[in-house]
Amino acid sequence: MLSESGLDAVPPWVGKLRQLEMLDLAHNRLAAVPDDLGALARLDVLYLGDNRLLAVPAAVRTMRALRYLSLADNAIALLPGWIGELDALVELRLEGNRLARLPDALADAPALEKLDLRRNDLRALPPAAKRLADRGCFVLW
């Protein structure tokens, strides 16, 4: 667990922990996450909340086993379209960011059951979130 450690950067050895299933990097000062974390193919849970991220780290795209992702309380203004490609993702926490819209592709995330959008710049429920809610996903906004 590396949460609340005041980290400015992820230690390089973390990307070598190939069997890692949970990684808690929350409550630090991370502005970026290294691409080599994408090699953590068994990662099931990733906490990146309460950092200084401006974007969803590209490394997340290759984390195909990821079921829980917290990006809460950062400064993310835009989600990448590939976020809907995370087939195993069950819960996505995005509260406390700067999101004003969502990519339509988010509604394509087949396993998503909970989406937290509270404390963002959303004026209305985005179409992608509405489609998710219509299929039974619990959407907080």
Expressed as residue numbers, the domain containing 80 is 12-140
Identify whether 5 is part of a domain: no
What confidence category does residue 4 fall into, taking pLDDT thresholds of 50, 70 and 90? Answer: low
Supply the CATH number for residue 112's domain. 3.80.10.10
**Going by C-beta distance under 8 Å and a sequence separation of 6 or more, which residues neighbour residue 132?**
106, 107, 109, 112, 115, 139
pLDDT of 1 strictly over 80: no
Full-model pTM: 0.95
- pLDDT for residue 30: 97
- CB atoms closer than 10 angstroms to residue 4: 12
Identify whether 1 is part of a domain: no
Identify whether 3 is part of a domain: no
Q: Which residue, among 84, 89, 75, has the nearest Cα to 102 in the 3D structure?
A: 84
Contact between residue 46 and residue 66 where contact means Cβ atoms under 8 Å apart: yes
Q: Which residue, among 121, 36, 135, 44, has the nearest Cα to 90 in the 3D structure?
A: 44
Identify whether 7 is part of a domain: no
Domain count, the chain: 1
